[in-house]
């Protein structure tokens, strides 16, 4: 039970359970269900007269505000915008519902357009109609006092796991009071950790939840004396959540999944609740296999395809006419491969507390294929207490190469039952399960593997290993660039791999284009390649006789190599035909990937098939006639002769048990942390004890919203950044409120929509438009806009479509009509509003400094974030005296090294022409004048490491607010339920010579300055102003 709310008269407690809203007597007793149906209903709020309940429901693909009576009847939908609308409170007269929403900021604001961060407070009449803005400060869980003169709320300064526990940093939430008449804000909590969920008491009294005692408990505060704090509960193990209060002063909240009541001065009492029926948390759900395939493997004869769908193994005939489900478990099977004869399947499975490698065999000798087999047998092949992954049969079927604990490459001999280490611990570091790459030689004596060779980063080399127990390996590429995905070609006489060493690299050295290179163990092949005589050399008779020499590892001079691809391109995968004459590759020259072929003999590079896919993994049949490509959950067959593309028609529907799957996923998350978390002692936390406590709740959950909350409560115990779960629901039908590229007066409570600004680059940014600020939109597509209706409904489903907009001057004397193409709401936010904010900041910098300073914002720590910085700093602002580098609300990436290197330029060379000194000097590609960094609580991850290293390098001053210690490397994993992703902090960073990690080590700015609500919302950025003043010191 969660999201509880006691009625003001104290008679009832409403709460969410299993995706619906229920109520129970304030004294406990039998629970009554109020909402029904497959969509999620939650966040109940009582009217002050206790006669109605507002709640949120996601039936239309987003949370909207609904209203019902206390019996769950007379349900009305009140909001229609595709933003996330969550009710907080009723107005004092019960005529309106106040709700929080992630809609746009007010047009006067100078704040970064972070809709997800700053919740806007709106209200909507209980009879329905236009939603009206109450306050844009960023008010979470806002409540108005009885007199209607003040609003108490919890703030939000940045994005973090909402359920993270025990952290004390600048991003933790505080409690504020807004004086409606005076329009002033007062912070009324001062603890450095979390202060949450404020509700009013009598007069100046308020109640809230805080971790100031260690665990989250109930406290009482006083607006007139913020130093006075009273603790009302003393729970020690789990957090108190969902605080509410009745008119007679009784507090109700949840603790450890139960409802509690608390009268001030007494001990909390658990409410005993009962149910008439046993309510199942699980069900057998169905999903199509098509569009949901995540892995595939082709049998050696090309007649069977094994694939993974939602963690289970299927095998299909290569033409798709018959498909059979091989496994049916709630846990996941992965990394499936066929034996050379096609009668066995090798796969990894996590069924208990570790990953094991198992084998499935055809049971009956008369069966030739898995897809029509009459029976199977399953046995463990490698099953220890360690994690074993990526089992791969040797071509002679006598051995299995595999990965132990994600990083150690081993070989298991099926004949002698012995194991050999091929690459030991400490050489490679995994970034995700299944990310190591290796392949057997055709004679089963050697392996090729990509390996960092102890470098610790991502710059892989290709190594050659002989499986003789010696443990020796030969680095074949020895490159500072990235070499990956090595494969054997021409019966083992050569190998080929992907490399970015000839590519034009990005600023961050990531995402570079690649080439395919070949290395030749048979020197005659290389000679013939150089002389373009491969047509003679590569004949099937000769290929079949090629053998690898036994002394490959003794070659210290290296083997000859050559570029095999003709064009450097965005190239994720490539395959050489079995005869070695044709290279097939997925190349992106335009928007998406297509299949290309390169004739190794003539060097002709041509399009084989237009695929237009966003990603793909390839396999080729033994005879080289067919290519199989897995892309976006489907398998395509491409005829290599004519390029004909045929999707495999897999029409199978799979069933799965949602309850059993969630139990597995929760155990899997626990195990992921045990084996991947950066601190082996979990920071002193009893992680196993946490698991035993939290797993008890899984059986009570029947939906992914509540499961997400449980995962984040669980992961939040670790008190670490980058450690949380995310849920991206998929809806069959979803409202999307299109945008017109306009900013409005959201307080306008009359008919029509009052326009205040036309966004540059938006739909109305037209030369011929007569739209201007203070025009009134009166109709959209012929539908009049009245205050009694939510006009967002008129734009739902209109993204990318023409909209006929009728508008007039505010007096209504003259009207006009324009037809524009509406855009997606995220386009308006991420492009139009962001660019508008940049222009605001540039204008403020220019006007405040009288043109002497430059301004750049680093939006993200990647190549896309750095290019505008480089472009403007060395272009638009090349003659500026100093540069302001704004990193606020940057969520990270991997750029701190490149950015700080760019900002640390020192002139070492100047030039004179005919005796005149030219402007500037070298280095030419770095900023060599003063700079400062603006930062705040919303910086995260690499946007923490950037000011951290900026300071350590002594480049300049930092200005703004402290940045939480979040400089941690993380690992993402999409679960077998693909709508769920789990992220875990796996790599702690330490400053050189430091013994404490950057995690939870906050950076304080050199000059501390906050942006107060009343200023930033009215166009004044105090942090930027301070930065300008600081940079002007000493500037001529």
DSSP, residue by residue, 183-238: TEEEE----SS-EEEEEE-STTEEEEEE-TTSS-EEEEEETT-TT-EEE-----SS
1029: part of which helix (H) or strand (E)? helix 1022-1032
Residues facing residue 195 across a β-bridge: 210
What's the CA dihedral at 659, 660, 664, 665 to 10 degrees? -30
Q: Is 104 a catalytic residue?
A: no
CB 970 within 8 A of CB 985: yes
Which of 60, 668, 722, 857 is the catalytic position?
Answer: 722
Cβ burial 876-890 (10 Å sphere, 16+ → b, else e)? ebeebbbbbbbbbbb
Among 721, 679, 716, 686, smallest CA distance to 996 is for: 679
DSSP code at position 800? T
Q: Is 722 a catalytic residue?
A: yes
C-alpha pair distances (Å), 422 with each of 359, 401, 474, 586: 22, 9, 11, 31
- As a whole number of angstroms, the distance between CA 169 and CA 165 comes to 11
DSSP code at position 552? G
- 781 token code pair: 């597509």
742-744 and 775-780 strand pairing: unpaired
Q: Is 439 a catalytic residue?
A: no
Which of 233, 565, 931, 941 is the catalytic position?
Answer: 941
Q: Where are the beta strands (DSSP E) in 256-406?
A: 258-262, 269-270, 273-274, 284-288, 293-298, 304-309, 312-317, 323-325, 333-338, 344-350, 355-362, 376-382, 388-393, 399-404
The backbone torsions φ and ψ at residue 631, rounded to the nearest 5 degrees and listed phi first, read -150, 130
- As a whole number of angstroms, the distance between CA 324 and CA 362 comes to 13
Tell the residue number behind the tokens 């407690």, with chain if given.
Answer: 13
Q: Is 43 helix (H, G, I), strand (E, B) or coil?
A: strand
C-alpha pair distances (Å), 145 with each of 129, 200, 452, 537: 24, 6, 61, 88
Long-range contacts of 834-839 (CB under 8 A, 24+ apart): 834/113, 834/859, 835/760, 835/761, 836/113, 836/759, 836/760, 837/110, 837/112, 837/113, 839/760
- As a whole number of angstroms, the distance between CA 753 and CA 766 comes to 20
Which of 388, 937, 999, 1030 is the catalytic position?
Answer: 999
175-179 and 150-154 strand pairing: antiparallel
- 602 token code pair: 């003539």
- As a whole number of angstroms, the distance between CA 28 and CA 762 comes to 55
CB 49 within 8 A of CB 8: yes
- As a whole number of angstroms, the distance between CA 140 and CA 119 comes to 6
- As a whole number of angstroms, the distance between CA 186 and CA 885 comes to 30
DSSP, residue by residue, 900-955: HHHHT----B--EETTEEPSS-B-SSS--S-EEEEE-TT--THHHHHHHHHHHTT-
Report the residue count for the chain.
1036
Q: In a 10 Å sphere around its CB, with 0-12 CB exposed, 13-18 middle and 19+ buried, how is residue 286 labelled?
A: exposed
Among 956, 948, 965, 955, smallest CA distance to 1000 is for: 965
- As a whole number of angstroms, the distance between CA 839 and CA 865 comes to 16
CB neighbours of 533 closer than 8 A, spacing ≥ 6? none
Q: Is 148 helix (H, G, I), strand (E, B) or coil?
A: coil
- As a whole number of angstroms, the distance between CA 7 and CA 25 comes to 10
CB 232 within 8 A of CB 250: no
Tell me the catalytic residues.
722, 941, 999
């Amino acid at each position: 039970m969660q999201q509880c709310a006691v009625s003001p008269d104290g008679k009832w407690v409403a709460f969410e359970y299993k995706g619906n809203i229920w109520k129970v007597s304030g004294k406990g007793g039998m629970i009554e269900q109020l909402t029904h149906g497959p969509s999620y209903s939650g966040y109940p709020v009582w009217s002050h007269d206790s006669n109605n309940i507002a709640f949120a429901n996601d039936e239309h693909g987003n949370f909207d505000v609904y209203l019902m009576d206390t019996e769950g009847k007379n349900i009305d939908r009140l909001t229609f915008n595709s933003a996330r609308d969550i009710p907080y409170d009723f107005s004092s007269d019960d005529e309106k519902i106040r709700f929080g929403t992630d809609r746009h900021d007010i047009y006067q604001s100078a704040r970064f357009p972070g809709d997800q961060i700053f919740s806007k407070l709106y209200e909507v009449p209980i009879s329905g109609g236009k939603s009206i803005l109450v306050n844009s400060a960023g008010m979470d869980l806002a409540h108005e006092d009885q007199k209607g003169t003040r609003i108490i709320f919890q703030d939000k300064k940045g994005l973090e796991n909402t359920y993270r526990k025990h952290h004390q940093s600048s991003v933790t939430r505080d409690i504020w009071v807004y004086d409606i008449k005076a329009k002033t804000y007062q912070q009324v909590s001062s603890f450095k950790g979390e202060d949450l969920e404020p509700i009013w008491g009598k007069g100046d009294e308020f109640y809230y939840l805080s971790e100031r005692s260690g665990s989250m408990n109930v406290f009482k505060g006083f607006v007139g004396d913020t130093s006075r704090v009273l603790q009302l509960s003393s729970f020690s193990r789990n957090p108190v959540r969902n605080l509410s209060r009745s008119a007679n002063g009784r507090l109700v909240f949840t603790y450890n999944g139960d409802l509690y009541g608390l009268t001030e001065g007494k001990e909390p009492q658990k409410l005993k609740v009962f149910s008439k029926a046993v309510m199942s948390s699980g069900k057998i759900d169905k999903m199509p296999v098509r569009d949901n395939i995540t892995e595939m493997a082709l049998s050696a004869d090309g007649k069977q395809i094994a694939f993974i769908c939602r963690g289970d193994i299927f095998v299909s005939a290569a033409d798709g006419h018959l498909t059979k489900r091989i496994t049916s478990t709630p846990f996941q099977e992965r990394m499936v491969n066929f034996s050379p004869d096609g009668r066995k399947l090798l796969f990894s499975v996590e069924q208990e507390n570790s990953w094991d490698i198992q084998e499935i065999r055809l049971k009956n000798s008369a069966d030739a294929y898995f897809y029509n087999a009459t029976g199977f047998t399953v046995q463990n092949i490698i099953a220890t207490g360690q994690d074993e992954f990526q089992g791969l049969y040797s071509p002679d079927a006598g051995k299995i190469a595999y990965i132990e604990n994600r990083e150690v490459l081993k070989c298991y001999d099926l004949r002698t039952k012995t194991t050999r280490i091929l690459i030991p611990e400490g050489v490679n570091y995994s970034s995700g399960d299944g990310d190591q790459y290796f392949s057997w030689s055709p004679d089963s004596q050697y392996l090729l593997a990509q390996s960092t060779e102890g470098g610790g980063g991502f710059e892989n080399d290709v190594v050659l290993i002989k499986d003789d127990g010696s443990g020796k390996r030969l680095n074949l590429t020895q490159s500072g660039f990235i070499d990956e995905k090595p494969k054997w070609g021409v019966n083992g006489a050569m190998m080929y791999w992907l490399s970015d060493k000839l590519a034009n690299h990005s600023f961050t050295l990531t995402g570079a284009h690649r080439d395919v290179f070949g290395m030749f163990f048979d020197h005659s092949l290389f000679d013939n390649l150089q002389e373009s005589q491969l047509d003679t050399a590569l004949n099937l008779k000769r290929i079949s006789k090629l053998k690898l020499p036994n002394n490959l590892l003794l070659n210290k001079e290296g083997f000859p190599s050559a570029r095999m691809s003709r064009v450097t391109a965005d190239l994720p995968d490539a395959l050489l035909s079995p005869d070695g004459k044709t290279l097939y590759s997925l190349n992106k020259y335009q928007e998406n990937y297509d299949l290309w072929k390169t004739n190794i003999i003539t060097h002709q590079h041509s399009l084989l098939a237009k695929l237009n896919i966003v990603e793909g993994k390839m396999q080729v049949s033994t005879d080289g006639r067919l290519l199989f490509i897995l892309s976006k959950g489907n398998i395509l067959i491409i005829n290599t002769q004519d390029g004909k593309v045929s999707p495999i028609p897999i029409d199978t529907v799979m069933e799965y048990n949602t309850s059993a799957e969630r139990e597995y996923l929760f155990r899997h998350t626990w195990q992921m942390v045990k084996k991947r978390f950066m601190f082996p002692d979990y920071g002193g936390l009893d992680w196993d004890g946490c698991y035993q406590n939290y797993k008890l709740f899984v059986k009570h959950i029947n939906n992914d919203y509540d499961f997400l909350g449980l995962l984040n409560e669980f992961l939040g115990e670790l008190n670490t950044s980058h450690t949380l779960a995310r849920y991206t629901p998929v809806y069959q039908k979803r409202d999307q409120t299109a945008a017109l590229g306009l900013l409005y007066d959201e307080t306008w409570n009359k008919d029509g929509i009052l326009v205040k600004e036309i966004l540059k680059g938006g739909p109305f940014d037209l030369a011929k438009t007569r739209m201007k600020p203070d025009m009134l939109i009166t109709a959209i597509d012929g539908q009049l806009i009245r205050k009694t209706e939510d006009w967002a409904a008129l734009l739902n489903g209109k993204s990318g479509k023409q909209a006929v907009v009728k508008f007039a001057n505010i007096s209504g004397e003259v009207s006009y009509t324009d037809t524009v193409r509406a855009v997606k709401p995220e386009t308006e936010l991420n492009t139009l509003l962001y660019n508008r904010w940049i222009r605001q900041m540039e204008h403020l910098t220019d006007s405040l400094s009288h043109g002497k300073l430059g301004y750049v914002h680093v939006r993200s720590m990647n190549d896309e974030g750095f290019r505008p910085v480089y472009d403007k700093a060395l272009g638009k602002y090349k003659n500026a005296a100093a540069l302001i580098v704004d990193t606020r609300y940057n969520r990270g990436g991997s750029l701190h090294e490149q950015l700080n290197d760019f900002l640390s330029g020192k002139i070492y060379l100047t030039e004179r022409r005919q005796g005149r000194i030219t402007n500037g000097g070298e280095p030419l590609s770095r900023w060599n004048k003063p700079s400062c960094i603006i930062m705040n609580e919303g910086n995260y991850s690499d946007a923490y490491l950037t000011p951290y290293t900026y300071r350590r390098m002594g480049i300049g001053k930092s200005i703004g607010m402290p940045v939480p210690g979040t400089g941690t490397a993380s690992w993402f994993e999409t679960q077998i339920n693909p709508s769920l992703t789990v992220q875990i902090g796996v790599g702690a960073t330490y400053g050189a010579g430091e013994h404490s990690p950057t995690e939870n080590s906050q950076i304080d700015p050199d000059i501390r300055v906050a942006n107060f609500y009343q200023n930033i919302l009215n166009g004044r950025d105090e942090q930027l102003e301070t930065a300008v003043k600081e940079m002007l010191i000493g500037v001529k």
